């Protein structure tokens, strides 16, 4: 019996203190990947991300000629994640090739569903190329423009927010400088968009590039912001600094006209153990008391609640808060961001 070739890469940049013995996973027929993960200690999203990156490298190893990765695959190789945790792999080819499937992968109790490898005949906007971990990609700006023209609006918006966050080196403590850098990048993206070889999705792409925000720290926050801005008739801001009683807070999403603060309580905010969780709860209570005393209404959303609401309501997501004599409920009456889905 022939031994299955194993693709070993250092693309995951795992710290030596956290490195585990590689887990060999079959990615496609005849080729497997060694992932620096521990099935029992790695989180599901770490496994999904590792498999997504490994699939790109395995596809490259399976091809006779060097591939040019574009769009979502280019952004993923550059550390930019979107809303979809199981993206398809996209390669630029001047002539269309048939789509191929990649089977599902299982690591421990986590199974990553199958995906596909597709070929795009749309050439990159520029001749600029990047090489990331030995793989050739189009320029990341070109990749984002490709995504905002071709991906679903939510996915495009999330990718744009994550890209702007990374490229501007956004810091909530230096927001003026960070947002100035983000605006310079936005202008550069809009200029590149005018040279797009396809006009399909052009108006929608402009709307998305104008709407993306660098203040979102993760894809879930960006997706939540997309829905809030879709249904709220009032402006919404990210990473807003609020001082109460000499204490300084930064709110994830703020609708100032309604005095509403929306907080996404991701896993990273909870800590790594029970003592960290207890301390986080105490800080939440004091933070919420301060902000409510200052006249703010707090809406907290956990990852599970957020996913359940998204699945249940989609773009008809209901954002609600009620307390005392005030109550505001905004149902899914989509405006600019939802109209993006109709623009071609």
- pLDDT 10s digits, 29-54: 888 888 878 777 888 888 999 999 99
Q: Give dist(CA 179, CA 165) in Å, integer.
A: 9
Say which residue the tokens 């399976």 belong to. Answer: 62
Which element (helix H / strand E) includes 55? helix 44-62
pLDDT bucket at 285, cuts 50 / 70 / 90: confident
Residue 112 has pLDDT above 90, yes or no: yes
80: CB partners within 8 A, 6+ apart: 140, 159, 162, 163, 166
pLDDT at 15 over 90: no
Could you tell me the pLDDT band of residue 230, with boundaries at 50, 70 and 90? confident
Q: From the CA atom positions of the chain, what is the Rg in Å?
A: 22
Mean pLDDT comparison of 13-22, 42-51, 296-305, highest-scoring range: 42-51
Q: How many angstroms separate the Cα of 287 from the Cα of each of 143, 216, 217, 250, 298?
A: 40, 20, 20, 10, 10
Confidence at residue 330, expressed as pLDDT on a 0 to 100 scale: 34
Q: How far apart are the first and last CA of the chain?
A: 53
Residue 110 CA: distances (Å) to CA of 105, 192, 287: 8, 40, 36
| pLDDT score of 136 more than 90 | yes
pLDDT band, residue 307 (cuts 50/70/90): low
Residue 299 has pLDDT above 80, yes or no: yes
Cα separation, 70 vs 316, whole angstroms: 32
Who has greater pLDDT, 154 or 266? 154
pLDDT at 342: 42
The better pLDDT of the pair 58, 9 is held by 58
């Amino acid at each position: 019996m022939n031994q299955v070739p194993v693709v070993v890469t250092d693309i995951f940049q795992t710290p030596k203190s956290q490195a585990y013995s590689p887990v060999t996973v079959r990615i496609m027929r005849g080729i497997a990947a060694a992932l620096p993960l521990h099935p029992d200690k790695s989180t599901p999203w770490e496994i999904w991300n590792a498999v997504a990156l490994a699939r790109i490298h395995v596809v490259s190893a399976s091809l006779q000629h060097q591939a040019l990765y574009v769009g979502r695959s280019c952004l993923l190789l550059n550390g930019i994640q979107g809303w979809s945790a199981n993206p398809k792999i996209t390669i630029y080819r001047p002539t269309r090739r048939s789509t191929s499937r990649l089977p599902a992968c299982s690591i421990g109790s986590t199974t990553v569903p199958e995906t596909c490898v597709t070929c795009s005949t749309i050439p990159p906007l520029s001749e600029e190329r990047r090489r990331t971990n030995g793989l050739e990609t189009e320029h990341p700006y070109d990749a984002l423009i490709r995504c905002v023209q071709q991906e679903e609006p939510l996915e495009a918006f999330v990718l744009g927010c994550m890209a702007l966050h990374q490229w501007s080196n956004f810091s909530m403590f230096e927001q003026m400088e960070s947002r100035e850098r983000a605006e310079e990048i936005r202008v550069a993206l809009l200029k590149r968009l005018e040279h797009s070889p396809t006009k399909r999705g052009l108006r929608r792409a402009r709307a998305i590039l104008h709407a993306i925000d660098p203040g979102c720290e993760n894809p879930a926050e960006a997706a939540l912001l997309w829905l809030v801005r879709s249904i709220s008739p009032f402006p919404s801001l990210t990473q807003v600094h609020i001082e109460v009683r000499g204490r300084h807070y930064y709110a994830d999403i703020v609708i100032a006209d309604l005095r509403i603060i929306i907080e996404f309580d991701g896993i990273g905010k909870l800590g790594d153990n029970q003592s960290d969780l207890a301390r986080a709860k105490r800080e939440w209570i004091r933070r919420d008391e301060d902000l409510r005393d200052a006249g703010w209404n707090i809406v907290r959303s956990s990852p599970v609640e957020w996913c359940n609401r998204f699945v249940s309501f989609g773009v008809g997501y209901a954002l609600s808060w009620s307390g005392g004599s005030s109550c505001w409920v905004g149902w899914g009456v989509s405006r600019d961001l939802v109209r993006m889905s109709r623009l071609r």
